[in-house]
Structure 1
Amino acid sequence: MSAAPPFDDLILAVARHRDRAAFDALYRHFAPKIEAYVLRLGSDRSVAEELVQDVMLTLWLRAETFDPVQASAATWVFTIVRNRRIDRIRREARPAPDPHDPAMATLPPPSPEEEAQVALDGRFVRDAMKKLSPEQTEALRLSYYEDKSHSEIAEERRIPLGTVKTRLRAALAQLRRSVKETA
């Protein structure tokens, strides 16, 4: 088997020993290449310089995640460059909120009739939930009220993912039947 390329060794030295000399050598090699690459892609110099700093800081902080079996040093570094550039483009593409947008307007307070209907609906939902098994109720609570993914629920409760999905599906079917019964 051939020896690892020198840049691979330098990243590993940063990962294992926080070797500043190795990082300096990496910086001197990769910083100009990163900047030139980002400039070629159409970014201005200040953006390119910021990305160089961001990527090199990431290299310093995350060097232990580098695996020379999966990629060369250059591939790993330029994957970071690509991802950081995409993140920046996405961040810049987000429009600023328009305070005059009708969707941003505050809603008027509910009328007494609307408040009564909300209370009635709440009572209906609580009554329908009482018909569920404790496991189904818990699955609904974790999924919809605590916003946990099915995988998170399965891991947290130490049950198979399929069981979580079955409980949720059965609970929703029971709630649907309850809605039809009262309609």
Structure 2
Amino acid sequence: MSAPGGAERPAAASEMNDLLARVAASGDREAFSRLFAFFAPRVKGYLMRIGLSPDQAEDLAQDALLKVWRKARLFDPSKASAATWIYTIARNLRIDAARRLNRPLPDHEDPALLPEEEPRADVELERAQRDRRIHAAFDALPPNQRAVVMLHFYEDEPHAAIAERLDLPLGTVKSRLRLAFGRIRKELGDLA
């Protein structure tokens, strides 16, 4: 079916396209059998030429032709010949196999892969008590100081933007922040 020099004769190429079209249209097993008989050894040879051992090439060639059977409906003769389409499938499977081999195995001792330990009950209780004290200290601030702290820490606004937003002088914003921190430090005592 090949002309001298390895090129397919046009009749052979159109015949392969027709066989693949029959597989796509009706799942024609006879047509697939002829495609398989023609392409299996050629795909295996191609895969060996690009670096696979004979056993690996055999396995991958079978995978490629199985994929041809499953995906035949996706073949578009206006975009490529049957041979080009089949060799592209084989090449892509080879690339996928190489990527799988190059992917490092997970290190089960890697701390990033270990689940976080549940915090002990006493630690959780301390955290909850600390959070309540912080919220109480914040709530005890006068409204004008609380507004500046909210804008600065919760909305991440710079001092100049806070001054503009609240229509205050920049020095007043800084002063209110300093006073608020002093009050919070006093309220929290040992936590500050």
- Calculate the TM-score normalised by the size of structure 1: 0.59
**Match 1:72 to one of 78, 81, 87:** 81
User: Given the superposition, is the C-alpha separation of residues 10 and 109 from structure 1 closer, same or farther in structure 2, using an over 3 Å criterion?
Assistant: same
RMSD (Å), alpha carbons: 3.1
Distance 1:76 1:177 in 2: 61
Tell me if 1:54 matches 2:63. Answer: yes
CA shift at 1:44, angstroms? 1.2
Tell me if 1:90 matches 2:102. Answer: no
Secondary structure class of the residue paired with 1:5: helix
State the Cα deviation string for residues 84-118 of structure 1 (Å, max 9, x = none): 1111111122222222223334433333278649x
User: Given the superposition, is the C-alpha separation of residues 105 and 62 from structure 1 closer, same or farther in structure 2, using an over 3 Å criterion?
Assistant: closer
1:102 corresponds in structure 2 to 111
2:42 corresponds in structure 1 to 33
Distance 2:113 2:126 in 1: 21
Report the number of matched residues: 126
Distance 1:177 1:90 in 2: 48
Q: How high is the sequence identity, in percent, across the aligned residues?
A: 43
For the pair shown, the structure with the greater C-alpha radius of gyration is 2
Distance 1:39 1:114 in 2: 65
User: Given the superposition, is the C-alpha separation of residues 19 and 181 from structure 1 closer, same or farther in structure 2, using an over 3 Å criterion?
Assistant: closer
The residue identity in structure 1 corresponding to 2:38 is H
The residue identity in structure 2 corresponding to 1:179 is Y
User: Given the superposition, is the C-alpha separation of residues 54 and 115 from structure 1 closer, same or farther in structure 2, using an over 3 Å criterion?
Assistant: farther
State the Cα deviation string for residues 111-153 of structure 1 (Å, max 9, x = none): 3278649x89xxxxxxxxxxxxxxxxxxxxxxxxxxxxxxxxx
The residue identity in structure 1 corresponding to 2:55 is S
Tell me if 1:19 matches 2:28. Answer: yes
The residue identity in structure 2 corresponding to 1:22 is A
CA shift at 1:72, angstroms? 0.6
Distance 1:57 1:114 in 2: 61
Listed as ranges, the gaps of 5+ residues in structure 2 are 1-9, 133-150, 158-176, 178-192
